[in-house]
């Protein structure tokens, strides 16, 4: 084993799948010579050539339309949408076409499509390049939604997503790509991290904290701090795949802790954690000692100024406060 960054792990998953399966190809903006806006596909043009690393004009809707059409006719495209904000430009193709083709056709088609996209804020890129739009896509039956929080999961989840016969929205976080704090040992061989399985990233018995993507790392930081400073032991659950959702891993945890804090980066109103909260209330009410509480983004677009941006997006101290408040 050797250590990889999140970005390297994602690249390796694609390289290995492309070596194994000639129907896997990449399509997106500036992914060839440039190597993608964040450098994820650097070097792939040299190995796989222009036929399989397909640079496109700036036409997100057509990128997803073309990827969808090729998926139903036997290819396994990985489409890159540079910023997750731009999935809205392709929304007809995602929501009305890719997601529904199988159902509308009575189960007689499959759409093995992966849409990789970079989400999240904290980069000073402001309102149109920082959003967390996972709730928007997780709401649509027919789509699967994946948000890895670390290199090991990123590789295994991407391999599972490419192997899956359904459209998968694979949302990467920009602040994880080259994050030296979360470099990990990643196996050289191919492996799958199954879709629909959450992961306990830290065990604890005082309170459960469920989080997505970069907020898993922030929650782990908060948990370590509280453990050292106050002897509070948080159980941190990485949701990993929003749809299908592994609600059981959360229910099992609250049986032990009796309390659940949900942490996400998106604005709190209508966010994905509302779904988690509702399901836990419906299925786990008897085990709860307190209401489910959410720590999430503020109800505004992601602002530019660092001061405002840090106010909008939850940080370690807000998570800490949330935990302490919930523990009373």
Among candidate residues 129, 155, 240, 243, the one labeled active-site is 129
Query: Would you state the structure tokens that stand for residue 295, as one six-digit string?
Result: 């720590």
For other proteins, the closer CB: 163 or 184: 163
Find the binder of other proteins among 40, 44, 53, 71 (CB under 8 A).
71
For other proteins, the closer CB: 68 or 131: 68
Stretch that binds other proteins, among 37-45, 158-166, 177-185, 282-290 (CB under 8 A): 158-166
Closest CA to 210 of 297, 293, 312, 302: 293
The reply on whether position 293 binds other proteins by CB under 8 A is: no
Q: Is 251 left (phi over 0), alpha (psi -120 to 50) or beta?
A: alpha
d(CA 217, CA 214): 5
User: Cβ of residue 88: shortest distance to other proteins, in angstroms?
Assistant: 13
Per CB under 8 A, contacts with other proteins among 88-127 are 92-93, 96-97, 101-111
The reply on whether position 240 binds other proteins by CB under 8 A is: no
Size of the site for other proteins (CB under 8 A): 43
Residue 218 dihedral angles phi and psi, to the nearest 5°: -65, -40
Query: Would you state the structure tokens that stand for residue 91, as one six-digit string?
Result: 């929304």
d(CA 179, CA 175): 6
The verdict on whether 129 is a catalytic residue reads yes
Find the binder of other proteins among 25, 48, 214, 272 (CB under 8 A).
25
The number of angstroms, rounded, from the C-alpha of 124 to the middle of its chain's C-alpha atoms is 20
The reply on whether position 141 binds other proteins by CB under 8 A is: yes
Q: Are strands 144-146 and 241-243 parallel, antiparallel or unpaired?
A: antiparallel
d(CA 303, CA 205): 37
Name the residues that contact other proteins, by CB under 8 A.
Answer: 25, 51-52, 56-57, 59, 61-75, 77, 92-93, 96-97, 101-111, 141-142, 144, 164-166
Catalytic residues: 129
């Amino acid at each position: 084993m050797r250590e990889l960054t999140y970005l390297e792990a994602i690249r390796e998953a694609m390289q290995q799948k492309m070596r194994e399966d000639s129907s896997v190809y990449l399509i997106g903006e500036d992914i060839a010579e440039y190597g993608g806006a964040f450098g994820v596909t650097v070097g792939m043009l040299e190995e796989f050539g222009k036929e399989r690393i397909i640079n496109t004009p700036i036409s997100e809707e057509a990128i997803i339309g073309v990827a969808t059409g090729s998926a139903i006719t036997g290819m396994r495209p990985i489409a890159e949408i540079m910023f997750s904000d731009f999935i809205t430009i392709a929304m007809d193709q995602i929501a009305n076409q890719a997601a529904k083709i199988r159902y509308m056709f009575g189960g007689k088609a499959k759409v093995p499509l992966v849409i990789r996209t970079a989400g999240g804020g904290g980069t000073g890129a402001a309102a149109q390049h920082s959003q967390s739009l996972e709730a928007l896509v997780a709401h649509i039956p027919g789509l699967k939604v994946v948000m890895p929080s670390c290199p090991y999961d990123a590789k295994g989840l991407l391999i599972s997503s490419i192997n899956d016969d359904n459209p998968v929205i694979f949302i990467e976080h920009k602040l994880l790509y080259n994050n030296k704090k979360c470099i990990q040992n990643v196996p050289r061989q191919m492996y799958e991290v199954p879709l629909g399985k959450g992961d306990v990233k830290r065990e604890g018995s005082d309170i459960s904290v469920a989080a997505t993507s970069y907020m898993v790392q922030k929650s782990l930081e908060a948990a370590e701090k509280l453990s050292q400073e106050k002897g509070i032991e948080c159980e941190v659950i990485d949701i990993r795949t929003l749809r299908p959702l592994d609600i059981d891993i959360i229910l099992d945890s609250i049986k032990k802790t009796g309390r659940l804090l949900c942490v996400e980066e998106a604005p709190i109103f209508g966010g994905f954690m509302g779904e988690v909260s509702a399901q836990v209330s419906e299925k786990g009410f008897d085990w709860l000692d307190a209401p489910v509480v959410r720590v999430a983004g503020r109800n505004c677009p992601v602002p530019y100024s660092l001061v405002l941006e840090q106010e909008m997006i939850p940080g370690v101290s807000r998570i800490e406060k949330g935990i302490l408040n919930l523990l009373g």
